[in-house]
């Protein structure tokens, strides 16, 4: 067998990509207030904004859409969805929701409140927003290695267990309603969390009598990275590792738009029957009847199939190889990227890439705009624009810990030549990086500002 890892599929349906001239892209940027969320997708050549809901469905999933049972209650598709979730995750109560943040809203709506704290290895932006929307505090407890972007440690997504122990020990009774852990750790480089770390998280929570949940958005990629990186796991089937990840946890929240390889959908699953009943009562008011939860029957069918396909080992081998291919080529050419490569995305270190800019001049955001203008590639800033605090007095954004640019790779969508084009374009931009200007924010909304804020070059 050749050593080349090929895309383990062939292409049946194609969609043209958006070709534009540099002048058209400059005009588009200006019109969008330099916010890439505001650019029409037809003006994007390679869209690495997110891996969420952007995957290509398989022939089996498309066939599943036809089989979708649209009965209001008790649809066959619900039972196939429930069985897939029970088999893969091992939780008894399975509730469909329309996407990940709906599951977050239900859990934190029921359990978070002013004065309460929710620890997490690192909250994703919507998770943080849903905790904070209840008046509670979202506390990130990432492991120490994660702060060093160049460190090659294999499990930089891990929870800082000592900090978790200290936090739970110091908390007043009832102060911490639930502990979360996010696999893989999306806000911090897409790094995996080890099985050992998951197990210890459960142990600590049990000892303190506090429920713990997994944010399972990228559970399959996390399981495959465990297989490749954690001692003693290399020979085990990924499916077995995937299930092991959830052992001892009280439940999981999941956006099915990532490792469900579906275009929409989410999951709330738990072993806590009382919580499930409370969740169903909220669901029926805000999302839909408990056997469809805001989804069509065909969506449930696509997710049931996608969850299994995401655990296919030749798919995962290709998936992780293509992320590493992009990260390793850039790294070898001296481009500052977060090391090592994670599962779903490559993260450029915007602050190091544009080290002529002051962090207050939004280097991550400036790089995101420059990459679009130069090559029609859309990435996503994960830095000061997304997470920086606003100085109440001056209205200036205070720099976040890092200014990263995430290049998220949709599942089964782009081929190696697309990725080669991305590498080439970034190297060209790197060669003329000193010409890239800083940015300033000229308007922002109160919550989740990165989606709609407007900017201008300095």
Catalytic positions are: 72, 124-125, 215, 217, 258, 450
Q: Which is nearer to ligand F0G, 54 or 436 (CB)?
A: 54
Does 127 sit near ligand F0G (CB under 6 A)?
A: yes
Residue 294: which of 262, 259, 267 has the closest Cα?
267
Q: Which is nearer to ligand F0G, 319 or 361 (CB)?
A: 319
Does 50 sit near ligand F0G (CB under 6 A)?
A: yes
Alpha carbons 267 and 255: distance in angstroms, whole number: 6
The residues, any chain, with a CB within 8 Å of residue 98's CB and separated by 6 or more, are 264, 265, 266, 287, 293, 294, 295
Q: Which 197-216 residues touch ligand F0G, going by CB under 6 A?
A: 215
Q: Where does residue 266 fall: left (phi above 0), alpha (psi -120 to 50 degrees), or beta otherwise?
A: beta
Least separation in angstroms between CB 100 and ligand F0G? 2
Q: Which is nearer to ligand F0G, 126 or 452 (CB)?
A: 126
Alpha carbons 424 and 417: distance in angstroms, whole number: 10
| Among 257, 329, 339, 449, interactor with ligand F0G by CB under 6 A | 257
The answer to whether 263 and 57 have CB atoms below 8 angstroms apart is yes
| Among 55, 68, 96, 100, interactor with ligand F0G by CB under 6 A | 100
Does 146 sit near ligand F0G (CB under 6 A)?
A: no
Length of the chain: 458
Does 122 sit near ligand F0G (CB under 6 A)?
A: no
The answer to whether 198 and 215 have CB atoms below 8 angstroms apart is no
Least separation in angstroms between CB 457 and ligand F0G? 25
Q: Which is nearer to ligand F0G, 211 or 436 (CB)?
A: 211
The answer to whether 179 and 212 have CB atoms below 8 angstroms apart is yes
Does 107 sit near ligand F0G (CB under 6 A)?
A: no
Least separation in angstroms between CB 217 and ligand F0G? 4
In sequence order, the β-bridge partners of residue 405 are: 348, 381
Interface stretch with ligand F0G, choices 119-127, 143-151, 223-231, 289-297 (CB under 6 A): 119-127
Least separation in angstroms between CB 183 and ligand F0G? 8
| Among 36, 84, 164, 217, interactor with ligand F0G by CB under 6 A | 217
| Among 77, 99, 291, 323, interactor with ligand F0G by CB under 6 A | 99
Least separation in angstroms between CB 216 and ligand F0G? 9
Does 368 sit near ligand F0G (CB under 6 A)?
A: no
Interface stretch with ligand F0G, choices 122-130, 169-177, 229-237, 409-417 (CB under 6 A): 122-130
Type and span of the H or E element at 205 = helix 195-207
| Among 121, 181, 182, 323, interactor with ligand F0G by CB under 6 A | 182
Does 306 sit near ligand F0G (CB under 6 A)?
A: no
Interface stretch with ligand F0G, choices 120-128, 130-138, 241-249, 277-285 (CB under 6 A): 120-128
Q: Give one DSSP letter per residue of 231-275, joined into a string.
A: TT-TTS-HHHHHHHHTTT-SEEEEETTSTT--SS-EEEEES-HHH
Least separation in angstroms between CB 370 and ligand F0G? 21
Q: Which is nearer to ligand F0G, 35 or 182 (CB)?
A: 182
Least separation in angstroms between CB 106 and ligand F0G? 12
Give the C-alpha distances (Å, rounded to integers) separating 70 from 62, 66, 297, 373, 403.
Answer: 15, 10, 5, 44, 45
Q: Which is nearer to ligand F0G, 50 or 158 (CB)?
A: 50
Alpha carbons 456 and 443: distance in angstroms, whole number: 10
Q: Is 201 helix (H, G, I), strand (E, B) or coil?
A: helix
Q: Is 447 helix (H, G, I), strand (E, B) or coil?
A: coil
Least separation in angstroms between CB 382 and ligand F0G? 9
Does 130 sit near ligand F0G (CB under 6 A)?
A: no
Interface stretch with ligand F0G, choices 97-105, 135-143, 297-305, 320-328 (CB under 6 A): 97-105
- What is the maximum alpha-carbon separation in the chain? 64
Alpha carbons 213 and 250: distance in angstroms, whole number: 6
Does 192 sit near ligand F0G (CB under 6 A)?
A: no
Tabulate helix, strand, coil % of the chain (nearest 5): 45, 15, 40
Q: Is 143 helix (H, G, I), strand (E, B) or coil?
A: coil
Give the C-alpha distances (Å, rounded to integers) separating 111 from 108, 117, 167.
Answer: 5, 10, 18
Interface stretch with ligand F0G, choices 123-131, 140-148, 277-285, 426-434 (CB under 6 A): 123-131
- Interacting residue ranges for ligand F0G, rule: CB under 6 A: 50, 52, 99-101, 124, 126-127, 182, 186, 215, 217, 255, 257, 266
């Amino acid at each position: 067998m050749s050593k080349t890892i090929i895309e383990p599929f062939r292409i049946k349906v194609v969609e043209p990509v958006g070709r534009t001239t540099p002048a058209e892209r400059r005009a588009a940027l200006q019109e969008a207030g330099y916010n890439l969320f505001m650019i029409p997708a037809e003006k994007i050549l390679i869209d690495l904004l997110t891996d969420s809901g952007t995957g290509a469905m398989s022939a089996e999933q498309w066939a599943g859409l036809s089989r979708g049972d649209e009965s209001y209650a008790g649809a066959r598709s619900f039972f196939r969805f429930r069985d897939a979730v029970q088999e893969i995750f091992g939780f008894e109560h399975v509730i469909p929701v329309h996407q990940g943040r709906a599951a977050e809203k239900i859990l934190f709506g029921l359990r978070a409140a002013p004065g309460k704290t929710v620890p997490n290895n690192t909250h994703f932006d919507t998770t943080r927003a849903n905790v904070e929307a209840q008046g509670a505090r979202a506390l990130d407890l990432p492991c120490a290695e994660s702060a060093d972007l160049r460190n090659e440690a294999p499990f930089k997504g891990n929870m800082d267990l000592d900090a978790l122990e200290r936090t739970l020990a110091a908390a007043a009774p009832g102060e911490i309603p639930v502990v979360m852990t996010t696999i893989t750790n999306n806000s911090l480089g897409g790094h995996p969390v080890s099985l050992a770390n998951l197990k210890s998280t459960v142990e600590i929570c049990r000892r303190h009598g506090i429920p713990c949940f997994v944010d399972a958005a990228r559970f399959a990629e996390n399981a495959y990275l465990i297989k490749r990186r954690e001692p003693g796991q290399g020979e085990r089937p990924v499916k077995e590792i995937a299930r092991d990840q959830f052992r001892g946890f009280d439940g999981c929240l999941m956006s099915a738009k990532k490792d469900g390889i579906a275009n929409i959908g989410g999951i709330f699953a738990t072993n806590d029957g009382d919580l499930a009943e409370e969740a169903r009562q909220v669901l029926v008011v805000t999302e839909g009847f408990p056997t469809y939860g805001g989804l069509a029957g065909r969506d449930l069918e696509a997710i049931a199939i996608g969850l299994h396909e995401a655990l296919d080992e030749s798919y995962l081998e290709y998936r992780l190889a293509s992320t590493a291919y992009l990260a390793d080529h850039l790294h070898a050419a001296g481009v500052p990227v977060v090391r090592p490569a994670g599962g779903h995305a490559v993260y450029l270190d915007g602050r190091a890439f544009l080290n002529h800019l002051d962090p207050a001049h939004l280097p991550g955001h400036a790089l995101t705009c420059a990459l679009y203008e130069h090559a029609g590639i859309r990435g996503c800033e994960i830095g000061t624009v997304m997470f920086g605090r606003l100085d109440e007095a001056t209205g200036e954004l205070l720099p976040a810990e890092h200014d990263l640019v995430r290049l998220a790779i949709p599942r089964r969508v782009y081929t190696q030549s697309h990725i080669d084009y991305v590498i080439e374009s970034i190297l060209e931009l790197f060669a003329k990086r000193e010409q890239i200007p800083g940015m300033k924010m000229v308007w922002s909304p109160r919550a989740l500002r990165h989606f709609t804020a407007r900017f201008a070059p300095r």
